[in-house]
Amino acid sequence: MGEIPFILGGVEATSRPTDFKYAQLRELFAQLGPGPVSVLDLGCGTCKAVEGALREHPNVSYVGVEQDAAALAQARRLIGDLPTVQLQEAFGEQFSGGTFDLVISLSVLEHVKYLDAFLETSVRAVRPGGTLMHRYDLGHALTPSTLGERLRVAVARRVPAAVPAARFTTSPDATAIVRRLGELGIVDLTVRQAQAPSLKAAMNRIDQSTPEGQRLAADVVALDARLWDELSPALKPEARDRLFPAIIVTGRRAG
């Protein structure tokens, strides 16, 4: 693959952990405790975001579900060696493989065409008392990087039927998502926003394969969260979304 190996959890990892999602997952997996825990990741992509956290937490048994065969093949190359990992090719909304302590989706909801079915499946897959986290990005819709992306978002909003499920991109409404998750039995729902662009740019340069890098990354995540707490109440929605373009919805399935 030509990638430089990094040492994580005492073993070689092939993807360099440099982003917010990795820093957040390390924290989340640590909070789950040292005993056996199960995690379902809907829309796992290449598993780049989870590789490091999985190598550091061998107590986590992980199922990744991804609709894109090429991304899944890459995921198999990255983490297929881990005995605690299962990868399935499917749309998230088609999943029906039991319940999990933690169900996550990372940067996925903005690409999901059949959002209601996807949310329903995600809730059904959380064991009673377990945790659900959907983290998604507004960036494609707010600051499209190409004309193609701008067009895809515009068409998906106005004529969703015209965009295939595998190429869908939009800006999901957090209020509607929270309402639906509540109706489906998720309690203690919280919505936060994160990932101030300059902090993300800095994070992309922090090598989290070293203990100092991990401490620095945790400080960046904490600063980002503090900025959200302090600044967001006074911000208008558009400014808020530009300053914190990642939305994190979390809750617990009533048990």
What is the binding site for ligand SAM (CB under 6 A)? 21, 42-45, 48-49, 65-68, 71, 91-93, 106-108, 111-112, 118
Closest contact distance (angstroms) between CB of 35 and ligand SAM is 25
What distance in Å separates the CA atoms of residue 171 and residue 148, rounded to the nearest whole number?
16
Closest contact distance (angstroms) between CB of 222 and ligand SAM is 21
How far apart, in Å, are the Cα atoms of 193 and each of 70, 135, 196, 250?
Answer: 30, 9, 9, 11
Q: How far is CA 3 from the centre of its chain?
A: 23
Which CB sits closer to ligand SAM, 42 or 163? 42
Which CB sits closer to ligand SAM, 27 or 235? 27
Which CB sits closer to ligand SAM, 167 or 179? 167
Closest contact distance (angstroms) between CB of 128 and ligand SAM is 24
Closest contact distance (angstroms) between CB of 172 and ligand SAM is 12
What distance in Å separates the CA atoms of residue 125 and residue 102, rounded to the nearest whole number?
9
171 token code pair: 């800006």
By beta carbon distance, the residue nearest ligand SAM is 45
Closest contact distance (angstroms) between CB of 215 and ligand SAM is 23
Which CB sits closer to ligand SAM, 25 or 186? 25
**CA torsion angle 98 102 107 110 (round to 10):** 60
Alpha helices in the chain (DSSP H): 20-31, 48-56, 69-79, 115-124, 139-142, 147-158, 174-183, 197-203, 211-231, 237-243
Residue whose structure tokens are 């899944």 = 72
Which CB sits closer to ligand SAM, 99 or 107? 107
